A and B are shown apart, each in its own frame.
Chain A
Amino acid sequence: DQQVKQNSPSLSVQEGRISILNCDYTNSMFDYFLWYKKYPAEGPTFLISISSIKDKNEDGRFTVFLNKSAKHLSLHIVPSQPGDSAVYFCAASVGGSQGNLIFGKGTKLSVKP
């Protein structure tokens, strides 16, 4: 049961370039999507979110794009910095729910100086 899929377990990017992390979902009832960053031995840290009524949300270096017809979202980090190296989780919630986040397996991003 993989309602939220992150098909790339890892991604390596040069400092200063763009990082693009992808996420696909299967449940058309999802109406809120989030990206979290996680360092080892820490909990997930909220990065950015997007409601299903939007197709783009931007916060500083981070932009999330949502393509509802393709059931696909992506996180763009521009420019990438070595401190961005972490595991990135995509998560989604079902309409009407205050909780029950469904997480992807994560993508490990390495930003090389």
Chain B
Amino acid sequence: EPEVTQTPSHQVTQMGQEVILRCVPISNHLYFYWYRQILGQKVEFLVSFYNNEISEKSEIFDDQFSVERPDGSNFTLKIRSTKLEDSAMYFCASSEYGYRNQPQHFGDGTRLSIL
């Protein structure tokens, strides 16, 4: 069964450094998403992406964050200058195009630890 893959599984970074989280969505999917889950808290929406542009973003997704689809398969989340509070699990998800009510399928996440 096709799945969303994320790399790395765990990223440790010094505060203030840039970090790029990578995702390969399911191949026939055209909607892409990033969510995060801080330890002990809910899964929170960050951003959705379609047709090479951001469709929607949350208040969390400020100027420190950016997303990109650099080629036909990868979808990346960049945090420019990491803060301690960016430590969380980051989940990538994707869904099909063409049907309004299609479920999002999630990857296994990247655990980001900011020191």
Chain A residues proximal to chain B, CB less than 8 Å: 32, 34, 36, 41-46, 49, 51, 89, 91, 97-106
Contact = CB atoms under 8 A, between A and B. Distances in A.
Interface string B89-104: 0010101000011011
A98 B103 contact: no
Interface of B is mostly: strand
Interface in B35-67: 35, 41-45, 48, 50, 55-56, 58
Contacts of B103: 34, 46, 49
Interface of B: 4, 6, 31, 33, 35, 41-45, 48, 50, 55-56, 58, 91, 93, 95, 100-101, 103-109
11 contacts: A32-B100, A42-B108, A43-B93, A43-B109, A98-B50, A98-B95, A98-B100, A99-B55, A100-B45, A100-B48, A101-B33
Contact of A51 (B101, B105, B106, B107): B101
B42 A103 contact: yes
Contacts of B91: 43-44
B45 A102 contact: yes
Contacts of A91: 43
Between A41, A91, A101, A103, the greatest number of chain B beta carbons within 10 A of the residue's beta carbon is seen for A101
B106 A45 contact: yes
Contacts of B101: 32, 49, 51
Between A43, A46, A101, the greatest number of chain B beta carbons within 10 A of the residue's beta carbon is seen for A43
A42 B43 CA distance: 13
Contact of B42 (A32, A42, A100, A105): A105
Contacts of B33: 99, 101
A100 B39 CA distance: 20
B1 to A, nearest CB: 11
